[in-house]
C-alpha cells in the first residue's frame, strides 16, 4: 500500500523550475531515498510532501490526504525532522521532549523513545551543549514523538563523524523495524546504498532514475570496473573500441575502465595481443557512487 503519492510535481522560484515534473510513490514500511546533487530539487520536493510549500502544479497525497488542504491531519501522520535553528539552545533535552509531546493529540511516551535513542543520560543537558550526533538523535526523537506513520529525514547525517553516522543508520533501521515508513533525503551514496529499499535519483528537478540500489547500479552503463597498470602504454584508440565500454580514465599510469563482463574479456584479449602485462589488475562491481555519476551525467 502506498503512503506517499507524488504525481508530476512542479515548483518554480522566480520563473526558474526547481522541481520540474517529479513523480514517485512510497510504499508503507519502506525506506525510500531521495538522492541528488546540490540544488537538484530534493528539499523542495519533500517540503511539498510535508505541506510546507504549495506546489505550482501536480498532485501530492500523504496517506490519501492533501498536505496543503489537510495540513493538520498530515502533521499527525507525518513526522518531520527539525532544522537546527528551530530549537532554543537553552532548552534542555527533557524540556524539548516535553514541549513536543504537548503538540500532539496522541503522543508517544518520550521516555522509552529517549532510551532507545540513547538520550536518557542527557535529559538535563541544554540543546546548545549537545554534540552533533546527540542533536541528530534528539531530532529523530522529536520527529517520532507524535507517533507518525511516516518520518521525513533531510540530510540527517551531514556533519557527523563516521561512527555517529553509522549509529544513526542503525537508529533509522530500528525506526523502520518499528513499522514507520522513512523518506530519507541524502547526499551520501554509502548511506543510500546501505539503508534504502528504493531510491529516486533527482537531477535538475526531474527523476533521473528510480530503482533499488542494486537496480540503479545494474542499469548504469558501467556496472563492472576494471583497473590495472600496464607494463607499456596502450593505444587509446584500441581501448575506445572495447565492447560495452562506458568510460576510460588514466591516472598516474593506471587505467580504469568501466563496462561489463564483455569489456573485461576484451581487455584481457587486447593485453595479450599487445604483449602488455597488467600489473595489479582489479575487477570490481560498480558502486552506487559510479551509478550516480553516470545517471546524473546522463541528463546533463
Residues that bind ligand ATP (CB under 6 A): 13, 18, 36, 38-44
Question: Count of CB atoms within 10 A of residue 86's CB?
Answer: 9
Q: Are 64 and 70 in contact (CB under 8 A)?
A: no
Nearer CB in complex with ligand ATP: 43/168: 43
Q: Give 41 or 79: the residue with its C-beta nearer to ligand ATP.
A: 41
Q: Nearest distance from residue 47's CB to ligand ATP, in Å?
A: 8
Q: Minimum Å distance from CB 13 to ligand ATP?
A: 3
Minimum gap (Å) between residue 266 Cβ and ligand ATP: 38
Which positions ≥6 away from 59 have C-beta within 8 Å? 5, 6, 7, 8, 9
Query: Which of residues 37 and 107 has its CB atom nearest to ligand ATP in the complex?
Result: 37
| Shortest Cβ 174–ligand ATP spacing (Å) | 26
Residue 38 vs 280, nearer CB to ligand ATP = 38
- Report the C-alpha gap between 266 and 273 in whole angstroms: 10
Residue closer to ligand ATP by CB (options 122, 165) is 165
**60 near 5, Cβ under 8 Å?**
yes
Q: Checking DSSP bridges between strand 181-186 and strand 150-154, what pairing results, if any?
A: parallel
CB of 40 to ligand ATP, least distance (A): 4
| CB neighbour list of residue 16: distance below 8 Å, 6 or more residues apart | none
Minimal distance, residue 18 CB to ligand ATP, in Å? 3
| Nine cell digits for residue 162 | 563516521
Identity of the residue, 73 or 289, whose beta carbon is nearer to ligand ATP in the bound complex: 289
Between 203 and 224, whose beta carbon lies closer to ligand ATP? 203
Closest approach of Cβ 151 to ligand ATP, in Å? 18
CA distance 138 to 130: 9
Q: Which of 263, 264, 253, 257 is nearest to 231 (CA)?
A: 253
* In the complex, minimum distance from the CB of residue 36 to ligand ATP, in angstroms, rounded to a whole number: 5
**Among residues 13 and 103, whose Cβ is nearest to ligand ATP?**
13
* Integer Rg of the chain from CA: 23
Do the beta carbons of residue 196 and residue 32 sit within 8 Å?
A: yes
Amino acid at each position: 500500500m502506498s503512503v506517499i503519492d507524488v504525481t508530476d510535481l512542479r515548483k518554480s522560484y522566480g520563473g526558474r523550475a526547481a522541481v520540474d515534473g517529479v513523480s514517485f510513490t512510497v510504499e508503507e514500511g519502506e525506506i525510500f531515498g531521495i538522492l541528488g546533487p546540490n540544488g537538484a530539487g530534493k528539499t523542495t520536493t519533500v517540503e511539498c510532501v510535508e505541506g510546507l510549500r504549495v506546489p505550482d502544479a501536480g498532485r501530492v497525497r500523504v496517506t490519501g490526504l492533501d498536505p496543503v488542504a489537510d495540513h493538520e491531519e498530515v502533521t499527525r501522520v507525518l513526522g518531520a525532522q527539525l532544522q537546527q535553528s528551530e530549537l532554543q539552545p537553552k532548552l534542555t533535552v527533557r524540556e524539548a521532549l516535553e514541549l513536543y509531546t504537548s503538540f500532539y493529540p496522541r503522543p508517544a511516551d518520550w521516555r522509552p523513545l529517549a532510551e532507545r535513542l540513547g538520550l536518557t543520560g542527557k535529559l538535563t543537558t541544554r540543546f546548545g551543549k549537545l554534540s552533533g550526533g546527540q542533536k541528530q538523535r534528539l531530532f529523530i526523537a522529536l520527529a517520532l514523538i507524535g507517533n507518525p506513520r511516516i518520518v521525513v529525514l533531510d540530510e540527517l547525517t551531514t556533519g557527523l563523524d563516521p561512527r555517529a553516522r553509522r549509529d544513526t543508520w542503525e537508529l533509522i533501521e530500528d525506526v523502520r523495524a518499528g513499522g514507520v515508513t522513512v523518506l530519507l533525503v541524502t547526499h551520501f551514496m554509502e548511506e543510500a546504498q546501505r539503508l534504502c529499499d528504493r531510491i529516486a535519483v533527482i537531477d535538475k528537478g526531474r527523476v533521473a532514475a528510480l530503482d533499488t540500489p542494486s537496480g540503479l547500479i545494474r542499469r548504469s552503463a558501467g556496472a563492472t570496473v576494471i583497473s590495472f597498470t600496464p607494463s607499456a602504454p596502450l593505444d587509446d584508440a584500441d581501448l575506445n573500441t572495447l565492447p560495452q565500454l562506458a568510460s576510460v580514465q588514466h591516472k598516474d599510469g593506471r587505467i580504469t575502465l568501466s563496462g561489463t563482463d564483455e569489456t573485461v574479456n576484451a581487455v584481457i584479449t587486447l593485453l595479450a595481443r599487445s604483449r602488455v602485462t597488467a600489473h595489479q589488475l582489479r575487477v570490481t562491481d560498480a558502486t552506487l557512487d559510479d551509478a550516480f555519476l553516470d545517471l546524473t551525467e546522463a541528463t546533463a
